[in-house]
């Protein structure tokens, strides 16, 4: 996609960032598009940015793309005890 087309597509499907609370922890969530939800979960050691291109395509095709920074990554909660970031 050319830069001009990317800008147009992004304007049609703006990206929304928010923080949600779950079990006393804050998580960074990114949403784009409308329709049935497609949930993107990143692995170690990535962030929501991993899914940026895929989320755009999903939004362009009538879905609501949702991704979050997992615990300990990006703008999400990071516990003081590193053992809590990756539980067995």
**What are the C-alpha distances in Å from 31 to residues 67, 73, 87?**
7, 17, 26
Count of domains for the chain: 1
Residue 26, in any domain of the structure: yes
Give the pLDDT confidence score for residue 40 in this predicted structure.
Answer: 92
Whether 32 and 16 have beta carbons less than 8 Å apart is answered as yes
To which residue do tokens 């991993």 refer? 50
Q: Which CATH number do you get for residue 15?
A: 3.40.50.1820
Residue 84, in any domain of the structure: no
Q: How far apart are CA 31 and CA 20, in angstroms?
A: 12
pLDDT tens, 6-61? 545 556 899 999 999 988 889 999 999 999 999 998 877 888 888 899 999 999 99
**What are the C-alpha distances in Å from 61 to residues 32, 41, 52, 76?**
11, 19, 15, 28
pLDDT tens, 52-84? 999 999 999 999 999 998 877 777 887 787 776
């Amino acid at each position: 996609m050319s830069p001009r087309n990317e800008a147009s597509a992004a304007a049609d499907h703006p990206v929304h960032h928010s923080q949600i609370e779950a079990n006393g922890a804050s998580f960074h969530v990114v949403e784009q598009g409308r329709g049935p939800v497609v949930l993107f979960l990143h692995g170690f050691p990535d962030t929501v940015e991993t899914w940026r291109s895929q989320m755009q395509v999903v939004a362009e095709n009538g879905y609501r793309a949702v991704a979050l920074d997992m615990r300990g990554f990006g703008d999400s909660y990071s516990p003081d005890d590193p053992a809590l970031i990756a539980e067995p």
